[in-house]
Amino acid sequence: MGFSALLASALCTFLLPLLLFLAAGKLWDLYCVRGRDPACRLPLPPGTMGLPFFGETLQLVLQRRRFLQMKRRRYGFIYKTHLFGSPTVRVMGAENVRQILLGEHRLVSVQWPASVRTILGAGCLSNLHDGQHKLRKKVIMRAFSREALQHYIPVIQQEVSACLAQWLRRDGSGCLLVYPEVKRLMFRIAMRLLLGFEPHQPGPGSEQQLVEAFEEMIRNLFSLPIDVPFSGLYRGLRARNIIHAKIEENIRARLSRQQQEPGPAAAGGYKDALQLLLDHTQQNGEQLNMQELKESATELLFGGHETTASAATSLITFLGLHHHVLQKVREELQVKGLLSSTSQDKQLDMEVLEQLKYIGCVIKETLRLNPPVPGGFRVALKTFELNGYQIPKGWNVIYRICDTHDVAELFTNKDEFNPDRFMSPFPEDSSSRFSFIPFGGGLRSCVGKEFARVLLKIFTVELARNCDWQLLNGPPTMKTGPIVYPVDNLPTKFRSFNGQV
């Protein structure tokens, strides 16, 4: 009797887990490795699917760029993997990406990983579909009209000038870590212009607390969809709740002021994006959905400061490494009367910014080499063909921006920082058009791309005519988490520019 009990115990302890493991492996093989659509004769893309349930998510999270570069070298421009709980096809190359971006609502639909959808929320623009997406985008785009951008310019110029003056006052105190400083600058600008409130006050809900909450939220956006204490998703949600609490406080204060003082909601002839959303809700007689407003505002802050901070940091990097490019920037400013000491207080406007063609090319080249957002997420609405492979219905599709830039045949000497390559217009064919996609493309191209261009131009103008600088560690190693940034935060020493070209 004792032997039988011992045998049964051994079977339960060792054999049953082994059988369960083998069954899970078999199911994994059927679901992922052989998960092709039998109605389609085309093969699945090459690639590996990793471990059951986890797939290759852990390798991606831990290795990031190294993992992706290894995959590209081994499998080419289209390959399969398993990420964030779903079988996934990763896609790069202008023609392949063109089919994905122009296939919205027909071949694919937006679908971010579960952790992103949970943290950012179902009410944000990135997660809306069809008519809801079209209507919300139309409302928000009014905040990025040419007229609105013209109103934003003095505020951007004021914030950038004040920030650079502060950097220069630290001249004798050693190095400055550029990336965190630029993030704070871009956060202040986004808070003022997109959400219409000042983040300068001390105490709870202060600028520094909100910046830290955003960093924690963004660090955990792409995590396993497991909401337990100390998990990435748990930490991301806690950080998001801090941000939501501050935004809700601002919304309620704004609504209270509107009730007490009926009339125009914004001075200076423009309304920020949050006000436009509030107006739309009230004008259409809809019930005020505070959760959707908070989610939309959080998304605007994320897009309005994280991506521009990444791009501005890369601008400092490339101009610091290529002094002849900085020299050409200053020559353009001098020709436009924007470099001399008497022009330092001159207010910029849309017309002047549009004339700065070379600076526009510097920004494009920066976004080519270091696009802040590495790619986008879609899901296949039906099984379809892509370059000789089948993409099964229900599989996730990730299109890669940075890799598409890297492999684009349109660009020669791809690793060279050469803004002059953008001085000539692109060929008109569709493949060339999708060789450069820092803001995505198709129906879901970035709503704030014109805002980003204006902001980065003003930043470049003020930087070039006020500062000289030295990168203390030389060219930085870049990391994606999920926005592209320098691992060492770009330690740099700034000094005043003497105005001599």
- In contact, 446 and 303? CB cutoff 8 Å: yes
Q: Is there a single domain that holds both residue 172 and residue 30?
A: no
The answer to whether residue 501 sits within a structural domain is no
130's enclosing H/E stretch is helix 130-141
- Do 471 and 323 touch, CB atoms closer than 8 A? no
Q: Do 296 and 195 sit in the same domain of this protein?
A: yes
In a domain, 377, yes or no: yes
235 and 192 fall within a common domain: yes
- Regarding pTM above 0.95, the answer is no
CA-to-CA dists, residue 324 to 81, 413, 421, 489, 501, angstroms = 43, 18, 15, 24, 11
Do 314 and 331 reside in the same domain of the chain? Answer: yes
**Residue 20 and residue 47 in one domain:** no
The number of C-alpha atoms within 13 Å of 108 and in the hemisphere containing its C-beta is 31
Question: Which residues contact residue 173 at a Cβ distance below 8 angstroms, ignoring those fewer than 6 apart?
Answer: none
Measured distance CA(479)–CA(431) in Å, rounded: 28
User: Which residue's structure tokens are 């296949």?
Assistant: 380
Specify the DSSP class assigned to residue 425.
P
Q: Are residues 169 and 193 in the same domain?
A: yes
Q: Verify that 11 and 53 share a domain, yes or no.
A: no
* 82 phi, psi to nearest 5 deg: -140, 115
**How far is Cα 116 from Cα 375, in angstroms, rounded to an integer?**
14
Q: 407: which 2 tokens?
A: 């492999």
Is the residue at 268 inside a domain? yes
Residues 102 and 9 in one domain: no
Are 18 and 99 within one domain?
A: no
Which domain range does residue 15 map to? 1-34
Q: What is the pLDDT of residue 30?
A: 47
> pLDDT of the chain along its 501 residues, tens only?
565 665 556 555 656 565 555 555 545 454 555 467 888 899 999 999 988 777 888 888 777 778 888 999 999 999 999 987 889 999 999 999 999 999 988 999 988 888 888 998 887 888 888 788 888 888 888 888 999 999 999 999 999 999 999 999 876 667 899 999 999 999 999 988 888 876 555 444 567 788 889 889 988 888 878 888 888 899 999 999 999 998 888 888 888 887 777 655 444 556 788 888 888 777 766 666 888 888 888 888 888 888 999 999 999 999 999 999 999 999 999 999 998 756 556 679 999 999 999 999 999 999 999 999 989 999 999 999 999 999 999 999 999 999 999 999 889 999 999 999 999 877 666 667 899 999 998 888 889 999 999 999 999 999 999 999 999 999 999 988 788 999 999 999 999 998 776
How much is the pLDDT for 347? 78
**Is 216 in the same domain as 116?**
yes
Inside any domain, residue 150: yes
446 annotated binding-site participant? yes
Split into its structural domains, the chain has a count of 2
CB neighbour list of residue 189: distance below 8 Å, 6 or more residues apart: 155, 156, 159, 160, 304, 305, 308, 455
Q: Are residues 10 and 132 in the same domain?
A: no
Structure tokens that stand for 141 in this block: 């785009």
Q: How many residues does the chain have?
A: 501
**pLDDT recorded at residue 155:** 92
| Selection from 318, 410, 429, 295 nearest residue 367 by Cα | 318
Same domain, 43 and 97: yes
CATH number at residue 183: 1.10.630.10
Longest C-alpha distance within the chain, in Å? 100
Residue 281 inside a domain? The answer is yes
